[in-house]
Structures are given as structure tokens and as C-alpha cells.
Amino acid sequence: MAETKKLLRSLAGETQDVPPIWMMRQAGRYLPEYRTTRAQAGDFLKLCYNPELAAEVTLQPIRRYGFDAAILFADILLVPQALGADLWFVTGEGPCLSTITTQADFDKLGPVSDIHEVLNPIYETVKILSRELPSETTLIGFAGAPWTVATYMIAGRGTPDQGPAHLLREENNALFEALLARITAATIEYLSCQIEAGAEVVKIFDSWAGSLKGEAFQKYALEPAREITAALKARHPGIPIIGFPREAGEKYIGFAKATGVDCVALDNSVSPIWAAQNVQVDGCVQGNLASRHMVTGGQELVDETRAIVQAFKGGAHIFNLGHGITPDADPDNVQLMIDTVREG
């Protein structure tokens, strides 16, 4: 049977007159219905681990907007928690974790084989979504890339320059690489279980890839993405994978070929015309409208959306933002973006 889901057609390399569209963090605080469900859950982590409510918030933007894909509602820091790190969220500040800066800290982590005990509710969410999503909607699973997850595990929080992780990488490289290897192995198992539960695509989010320079990018952003992709494709032949080495800049060039991912997601620090000439030549690209347009709206949103669609119309493209939508976004601007993509 010929593939009918628009997102999967783009991931297979098909050029479409109207690109499929979804949005990073499309289930989120900008939607009043999300805020209601989150309040019902009690807090962010309880929402992640409640399959019925996590499925509900995943479905909300599909009901409201009819996006071509739904992305599982979860968080990249569930993997460290499943490995034994302490994780909590501070309102207004974001995530906090117990830190890993010494061998003794690392030795407290559990084995990869134990992660499913914590992560089983996530697989249950995927199963619910697999049943409940409209037939035309693609279900995306995801995980954080090992480098990005490691930056949080080392610092215990988000940092502006990933300084603590870079310091450990330079001062105790053996420990740093052991941590990355543990995260990589856990990520393969986690994504594999998402696929078994019904995810049709998986995405690897490397939000802090851009802070790795030179050889460090190859070793700690590109190589783990290649390893995860190869392992998943060996277990699940034909599974499409989206890689997102955010702010990679020139290093977006050749990333798909080097890692084996089917699509490269682009942030909005690169121009669509440059990306079409240098990245899309190797296959499908995703992106890359600046998320600020979801706040400001207006003609600028329409013009920029049209320019992105135009730039990428010569090849396989999935329309998305360059990063996640922010809590201060206006839901009406999301509709304006969708209408502009679909109606031209």
C-alpha cells in the first residue's frame, strides 16, 4: 500500500506541493487546554508519567489544529531519572538534577537494563496515542541526544554555555565518555521501546550541539547520533529518524550522510536558502520558522512562512519551527502559520 501519511512521505524523500507541518512543543503552556490538564495532573513530572493525561495533552493540538504529526508528550530528562538520577522541577526555573561530576556519582547510576521500570508509563502513552490518533497523523517518539542530556546531568540544571559539561569533558574525559556511553545505550533501548509501542518516527534532540566545536562535535554530537541511528535501524528496519543538532551551523552540512538520519531538523539561525543549497541536497529537512513569530504574528509571520516554504519547495521538507514554541505564544498565530503553509 502506498504511504498516505504526509510526514512519512517527506521522510521517504518525496517532494510535496504542500509540506507536512507540526511544531516542537506543540503540546504546551500556550494552550489553555494544556494548562487545565497539567493542573489536573498536579505537576509537570506527574503529567509525563500519567499515560492517560500525557496522551490527552498530545492529542490537544491535533484536535485544535490538525497537525500532520503528534509528538509524544514527555521530557528528555526522564532518561537520567530512569538511570537513577534525582530529578525535580522548580516552577519558573525548570529542571534540577543530582549532579554527576565524580566517579562516585557515576557509580550510583543504575544499569541500562533497569530503565524500563521507570519508563513503562511512557510506552503506555505511545500505545494509547497509536490507537487514538487520526489515521492521517504520524506519531513521533523522541529522546534527548547524549551530549545534551549529559549537560544537564553534569551541571544539575540548564546552563547558558554548558560550561560544567565542557569542563568535565576536558578534565576527566574518561568519566565524561563513560557517562555519554551509558546515556547512549539507554537512549537506544528507550527509543526502541517507543517504536515497539507504536512510534512511527523518532527524533533525537541535541539542543546544545552547537556548543561543541571542531573534533568535539564529531565525537560527541555526530558519533552518538550515528550509533543510535544504526542500532535502531538494525532492530527496526525502515524506521525514519530525524536528527536535530541545534545551532550546528556549517556542521549541518553532511550530517544526514554521516549519521544515517532520514531528515535533519534546522534551527532558525541558518537561512532557508543556504540550507536548501547545502543540507537539503542530502535529503529531507525540517524547519525552520523562528518561534518568536508565534508571539508577534502579523504579516511578518506570513511573509517568513512563505519564504521558508518557497526555499525548500524543490525537495523533501517538513515545516516546523526552529525551536520549541514558547509559553507566551498566541494560539491564533499558530493557526495563521498553518493556514499560510497549507493555502500558500
**Phi/psi of residue 229, nearest 5 degrees:** -60, -45
* 181 CB-near residues (< 8 Å, 6+ apart): none
* Fold category of 24-268 in CATH: TIM Barrel (3.20.20)
Which residues have a Cβ under 8 Å from the Cβ of 28 and sit 6 or more positions away? Answer: 34, 324, 325, 327
On the CB side of 240, how many CA atoms lie within 13 Å of its CA? Answer: 21
Catalytic residue at 152?
yes
37-88 per-position pLDDT tens digit: 999 999 999 999 999 999 999 999 999 999 999 999 999 999 999 999 999 9
Find the catalytic residue in 9, 25, 169, 182: 25
Tens-digit pLDDT profile for residues 256-314:
999 999 999 999 999 999 999 999 999 999 999 999 999 999 999 999 999 999 999 99
pLDDT in tens, 146-162: 999 999 999 999 999 99
Which one from 75, 157, 226, 292 is the annotated catalytic residue?
A: 75
The whole-angstrom separation of Cα 138 and Cα 286 is 15
Q: What is the pairing mode between strands 87-90 and 284-289? A: unpaired
Active site residue 25: yes
Active site residue 157: no
pTM over 0.85: yes
Compute and round to an integer the Cα radius of gyration of the chain: 19
Tell me if 279 sits within 8 A of 314, measured CB to CB.
Answer: no
Of these residues, 34, 152, 220, 252, which one is catalytic? 152
pLDDT of 213 over the 90 cut: yes
pLDDT digits (tens, 9 = 90+) for 77-136: 999 999 999 999 988 888 999 999 999 999 999 999 999 999 999 999 999 999 999 999
Give the residue extent of every domain in the chain: 24-268
Q: Which residues pair with 143 in a beta bridge?
A: 204
Out of 9, 38, 182, 246, the active site residue is 38
The DSSP secondary-structure symbol of 236 reads S
